Amino acid sequence: LGVDTTIPCNHSSLPIMPNNYVVWELPDGRRISSSEGKFELLNQDTVINMKLTVKNVQEADAGVYVCHVFRDFSPLYPRGQILRGLNLGGHAYAEPFDKYESNLMVAGIAALCLFVPLVTVCLLYKYRYQTKEQRDAKHAKRQDAFQHQRHLENYGKGAELQTASNGKEGEFNAAYDNASEGVDTRL
């Protein structure tokens, strides 16, 4: 506040050509094509009124300034317009993340407050709170699996030595004891 500010009329979407003419529209809707009062228009090279200087900037000067670009000096041949803002409060946020930083932190804390108890309850339910019947069933299932494994191990050792004798399957025939050599002695 209280300083002079210069606003250029240039943008990559509307390149200013030599001999173009610029008319500035103020935030109150007035259009100026020459310096008046606290508004000074400056030429740049061959472009007339290329820059607008606002002298002794005050709160009332804040707003959107529009520079209308024309070919030559005729308002019949407009080339386009460029919007420029005069923000007296400075940048609202230095980086895009700054705008949402507090919201992201609150969301992260809320997610943790929800996630941690939920996982704790699930784990407690799964491992701690089981009825006696569930524990007994789990123990019996383990015992059955262990006994089945032992049976398979014992049966596997004997099956290699078994062969058919006298038409009866599964009887041991000592004459064909080749299990140590890896020979299948079953008929």
Bridge partners for 42 per DSSP: 51
Would you say 154 and 146 are in contact if contact means Cβ atoms under 8 Å apart? no
Report which secondary-structure segment, H or E, holds 144: helix 132-159
Question: How far apart, in whole angstroms, are the C-alpha atoms of residue 33 and residue 23?
Answer: 5
Residue 91: phi and psi, rounded to 5, are: -65, 135
Nearest alpha carbon to residue 88 among 68, 65, 71: 65
CA of residue 133 relative to chain centroid, distance = 47
pLDDT in tens, 76-119: 667 888 878 777 766 665 666 667 777 888 999 999 999 999 99
Rounded Cα gap, residues 95 and 62, in angstroms: 22
Q: Give, for all 187 residues of the chain, the pLDDT tens digit.
A: 789 999 998 887 888 888 888 899 999 999 998 899 899 999 888 888 889 999 999 988 988 899 988 887 666 667 888 878 777 766 665 666 667 777 888 999 999 999 999 998 888 877 776 778 888 888 899 999 999 888 888 876 555 444 444 444 555 555 555 555 555 555 5
